[in-house]
Homo-oligomer: A and B are copies of this chain.
Amino acid sequence: MAILFSNATILPMTADEGSPKTFTGFVGVAGSRIALVTESASEADAFRAAHPDARIIDCTGRLLMPGLVNTHCHAAMTLQRSYADDIALMEWLHDYIWPFEARQTADDVALGMTLGVVEMLLGGVTSFVDMYYHENRCVEVAERLGIRAMLGCNYFDSNVEEVLPEVGQAVELAACCDRVRIALAPHSPYTVSPENLRRGKETAERYGLHLMTHIAETQDEVRIVREKYGMTPVEHLDALGMLDARTIGAHCIHLTDSDIATLAARGVAVSHNPQSNMKISSGVAPVERLRAAGALVTIGTDGTCSNNDLDMFEEVRTAAFLQKSATGDPVALPAYEALKLATVNGARALGYAEGELGVVREGALADLIVVDLQKPHLQPVHDLVSNIVYCGKASDVDTVMVDGRIVVENRRVAGVDLPALYAAVAAAVKRITAK
């Protein structure tokens, strides 16, 4: 079915450098793609004539923009949201996270993924990159809820023999649906051996998949990799042939100038996770230096144990604030540039060609969100992009479309019974955490 968004304020995000352009107009969607972007009422009429069954969504007073792309999270960890905060790392892992994960089943992971995807959709996230266990079980969740997903099969040396053989099956399951893709996700260069890193990359290449890993998240990691291999994490991964335009590196905080040049030269997508980095005191990623070097910087929320939500509006804002604070330059990472990281850049990290996703443009995939501007915190409108980046809230999103299909309308996620979901989540965590 075709859909026509009419009388919307449109932020296309297709401008190259420089200032954003917004205008009032119409966006027509046919199938999974944007078929029309215009200011012209007569072109909109022609679209309606060509699609007599088209549904019209009046967007007066509302903003139509690309959906947000979350390039790093562990969505199923919603089950562990606020489970263990404000404690030191080792106590956190040994006494809380690992015992919890040891007791959860594949069904629990699918349930946590459901809660996480519902939260993301309600906050205008139309694509996400995940990294966790039982991703084969999560294909169905992403498919059913309608979000676009890249599901990274996470492994350590300890479980590599279980995870790698499952990848083929996961790829087959995901073949049912263009929106859902599988990826390889070796945990990090300090927890996975060179041999097992290489096996992951080989598996990724065999199936034509992306590979993601945590890179240089902490100073400890850099020290360990230097001691073991005499190289920085980036040098080590590069020497193993792990870095290319199909690699997503999460965090990338503790980098040398040479590391930055390497990430840029290889086309690695850097997933910057500012709230997680602040909350668990990991350090501040050199986003402005990465951007200056031409690296592809994107934004992710990380998991809900270290954030503790999946709110990309806050994440974009925090990215801008943190660069301004850390560099001492109030002009660092301006609003529009920050928003690009979470839209056009995120789409490129997923492997989409420029202009195919993360923009409002004819021919692009229809991943769109409608933001209600009639809120006190979004008035007056001197600068719409500043308002969205510095004041916009996940809760201002009222309609979400992914791949041409409306998955959220009037802040309701299609096909989800929230009270039943909360009850199932409560029962699962009660069972998992029972003494």
Give the contacts of A330-388 with B (CB-CB under 8 A).
Answer: 330-332, 334-335, 374, 376-377, 379-383, 386-387
A177 located at the interface, meaning its Cβ lies under 8 Å from any Cβ of chain B in the complex: no
CB distance from A341 to the nearest CB of B (A): 15
Q: Which residues of B contact A123 (CB under 8 A)?
A: 377
Query: A303 CB to closest chain B CB, in angstroms?
Result: 12
A64-72, A128-136, A193-201, A277-285 - the one binding chain B:
A277-285
Q: Which listed residue, B85, B377, B381, B395, touches A310 by the CB 8 Å rule?
A: B377
Across the interface, A331 reaches (CB within 8 A) one of B88, B119, B425, namely B88
* Contact across chains for A376 and B122 when beta carbons are under 8 A apart: yes
A429 at the interface (CB under 8 A from B): yes
A83 within 8 A of B: yes
Give residues of chain A (205-263) contacting chain B, Cβ–Cβ below 8 Å. none
Cα–Cα distance between A275 and B275 once the two chains are bound (Å): 13
Question: Would you call A154 an interface residue if the criterion is a C-beta within 8 Å of the partner chain's C-beta atoms?
Answer: no
Q: Mark A61-87, 1 if CB is under 8 A from B, else 0.
A: 000000000000000001111111111
> Which listed residue (B85, B311, B390, B429) contacts A334, Cβ 8 A?
B85
**Of A4-12, A37-45, A287-295, A321-329, the one with at least 4 CB within 8 A of chain B:** A321-329
A86-B335, A377-B311, A387-B81 known; A281 and B325 CB under 8 Å?
yes
Look across to chain B and name the residue whose beta carbon is closest to the beta carbon of A276.
B321
Residues of B within 8 A of A181 (CB): none
Of the candidates B304, B330, B395, the one whose C-beta lies within 8 Å of that of A89 is B330
A322 to B89, CA, bound (A): 18
**Chain B nearest CB, measured from A74 CB (Å):** 15
Q: Is the CB of A80 within 8 A of B382?
A: yes
- Decide if B390 touches A307 in the complex (CB within 8 Å): yes
Instruction: Classify chain A: how many residues form its interface, as a range.
Output: 35 or more
The verdict on A419 contacting chain B, using a C-beta distance below 8 Å, is yes
Determine which of B304, B376, B380, B426 lies in contact with A79 in the assembled complex, contact meaning CB atoms within 8 Å. B380
Complex: A79 Cα to B380 Cα, angstroms: 6
Q: Within the assembled complex, what's the spacing in Å between the Cα atoms of A232 and B88?
A: 36
| Chain B contacts for A23, CB-based, 8 A | none
Q: Which A residues contact B (CB, under 8 angstroms)?
A: 78-89, 115, 118-119, 122-123, 275, 277-281, 284, 304, 307-311, 314, 318, 320-322, 324-325, 327-332, 334-335, 374, 376-377, 379-383, 386-387, 390-391, 393-395, 418-419, 421-422, 425-426, 429, 433
Report the bound CA distance from A379 to B81 in whole Å. 8
A374 to B123 CA separation, bound complex (whole angstroms)? 15
Closest 6 CB pairs of A and B: A82-B386, A395-B395, A86-B334, A278-B321, A278-B325, A119-B376
The docked-state distance in angstroms from the alpha carbon of A234 to that of B377 is: 34
Question: How far apart are the CA atoms of A199 and B219 in the complex, in Å?
Answer: 52
Contact A393 B390 (CB under 8 A): no
Nearest-CB residue, chain B, relative to A307? B390
Q: How far is the CA of A380 from the CA of B81 in the complex (A)?
A: 7
- Contact residues in B for A87 (Cβ distance below 8 Å): 330-331
A82's partner among B78, B279, B382, B421 (CB-CB below 8 A) is B382
Most buried by B among A311, A374, A380: A380
Least Cβ–Cβ distance between A32 and chain B, in angstroms? 26
* List of B residues within 8 angstroms of A82 by Cβ: 381-383, 386-387, 390-391
* Distance between Cα atoms of A119 and B378 in the complex (Å): 10
Contact for A330 among B86, B334, B376, B386, CB less than 8 A: B86
Contacts A83-B382, A386-B82, A395-B393: A281 and B328 contacting too (C-beta < 8 A)?
A: yes
- Asked if residues B390 and A279 are in contact (CB atoms below 8 Å), the reply is yes
Closest B residue by C-beta to A419:
B374
* B119-A377 in contact (CB<8A): yes
B-chain residues with CB within 8 Å of residue A328 when the two chains form the complex = 281
CA distance A281 to B307 in the complex (A): 23
How long is the Cα–Cα vector from A390 to B302 in the complex, in angstroms? Answer: 14
Q: Which of B83, B376, B386 contacts A418 (CB 8 A)?
A: B376
Are B390 and A308 interface neighbours, CB within 8 A? yes
| Distance between A113 CB and nearest chain B CB, rounded to angstroms | 12
